[in-house]
Structure 1
Amino acid sequence: MTSSADILVDGFGRIRDVVQGVVTSLSPEDLAERVDPDANSIAWLVWHLTRVQDDHVADVADTDQIWLAEGWNVRFGLPFPRRATGYAHSSDDVGRVTGVSADLLWGYHDAVSTRTIEFVNRQTDSDLDRIVDKRWTPAVTLGVRLVSVLADDLQHAGQAAFIAGMLERRRRG
């Protein structure tokens, strides 16, 4: 690896690999299952991590969110405001993410991941120092924003993988 962008691309590729490995073998019922009444489901976790990545990368790249521009919001048909990302969702909100197929989750994630990686690949080390959010002290740079998304997404992808492992153990008895 020769640049900071290369490291970020590797990280976003790892999220993509985990998401694909988790969702592709599960039914909509498995994806919506909650290990206790207030737990997040795999469907909600993957939808949320992808929505956050889409929202944040679209913002720093000054592009439209794929969720809206490509009609994923219509395809998912979730009962949330169009721009919802899952931030501050209640347990009841999590329970509303049902009937979502692996193909739908993977398709949306793949589209967002592809655009994220294309965007990050165009960044130089000096680009990563660009201020993208002045509401914080210190102000947030592009590099910090991307690392924040990467860290949050890896946590949620790991949570989804853990739940998938629990479901598999239950099946084996």
Structure 2
Amino acid sequence: MSTPHLRTYAGHMNIRELLTDAASRPASAAEPVLDGLSDEAAHRMPADRGNTIAWLLWHAARQMDVQTVALSGGKSVWTSGGWAQRLGVDRGEDEFGFGDSPEDVAALHVDDVAALGAHLQACTDALTAYIGTLSEDDLGEVIDDSYDPPVTRGARIVSIIDDAAVHVGQAAYARGLVDGWRAAV
């Protein structure tokens, strides 16, 4: 079976190249989910309680942005790119949906559903730019010793990517529930 969406590399890949490739995949996976997505379907809660597609894609990007800023000390994409205004979402720079209730999810309305992909791509670009600045020693640095084992910068980056990938996958599943969409396989 062919998997054209997967990239293949001949020869040696360094860890930054691997992380950059992994970081790019959630934004790529969101493209077909957004293709032809109606405003109504984007904001429908599966079974009247599940996260909406709009919320899932917004959260995937926002958690990436907030956590990248925490690691890099840089500026948030949310603010520097004017994404609150572009998406029509009245949420602060540090808000990314963690702990949102079903009512909070239902209240999040995106004015431009198609722009969710561009927002996720902008956050991905910021993360991959940050990854490009890191050495292998930087990736191995412990940044949070409140966990056992302590969390390294590299492990946190993997967690950011994993969170985005999971939420984009949930958005694809939710699309199937709300409008019968199926991913081409």
TM over 0.5: yes
* CA distance, structure 2, for counterparts of residue 117 and residue 99 of structure 1: 25
Match of 1:164 among 130, 151, 175: 175
* CA distance, structure 2, for counterparts of residue 101 and residue 55 of structure 1: 21
Alignment coverage as a number of residue pairs: 171
* CA distance, structure 2, for counterparts of residue 119 and residue 63 of structure 1: 9
In the alignment, structure 1 residue 127 sits paired with structure 2 residue 138: yes
Tell me the C-alpha RMSD between the 2 structures: 2.0
* CA distance, structure 1, for counterparts of residue 62 and residue 91 of structure 2: 12
Moved over 4 A (4+): none
2:55 aligned partner: 44
Q: Judging changes above 3 Å, is the alpha-carbon distance between structure 1 residues 99 and 74 closer, same or farther for their aligned structure 2 residues?
A: closer
* CA distance, structure 1, for counterparts of residue 154 and residue 181 of structure 2: 41
TM-score, L = length of structure 2 = 0.83
Match of 2:80 among 69, 73, 87: 69
What do the CA deviations read for 1:61-101 (whole angstroms, capped 9, x no partner)?
11011112222123333344442110000000000122432
Q: SS of the residue aligned with 2:128? A: helix
In the alignment, structure 1 residue 8 sits paired with structure 2 residue 19: yes
The letter for the 2-side match of 1:97 is L
In the alignment, structure 1 residue 35 sits paired with structure 2 residue 46: yes
In the alignment, structure 1 residue 92 sits paired with structure 2 residue 95: no
* CA distance, structure 2, for counterparts of residue 129 and residue 56 of structure 1: 17
Consecutive unaligned residues of structure 1, counting only runs of 5 or more, are none
What do the CA deviations read for 1:129-160 (whole angstroms, capped 9, x no partner)?
12323443443211110111111111111111
Matches within 5 A, 1:136-147: 136-147=147-158
What do the CA deviations read for 1:10-67 (whole angstroms, capped 9, x no partner)?
2111111111221232122111111111100100000011100000011111101111
Consecutive unaligned residues of structure 2, counting only runs of 5 or more, are 1-11
2:124 aligned partner: 113
Q: Retained in 1: the 8 A contact 2:56–2:168?
A: yes
TM-score, L = length of structure 1 = 0.88
The letter for the 1-side match of 2:130 is F
Match of 2:69 among 58, 61, 69: 58
The letter for the 2-side match of 1:132 is I
- Identical amino acids, percent of aligned pairs: 26
* CA distance, structure 1, for counterparts of residue 30 and residue 65 of structure 2: 15
Q: SS of the residue aligned with 1:126? A: helix
What do the CA deviations read for 1:106-132 (whole angstroms, capped 9, x no partner)?
221111111111221332222201232
* CA distance, structure 2, for counterparts of residue 19 and residue 170 of structure 1: 13
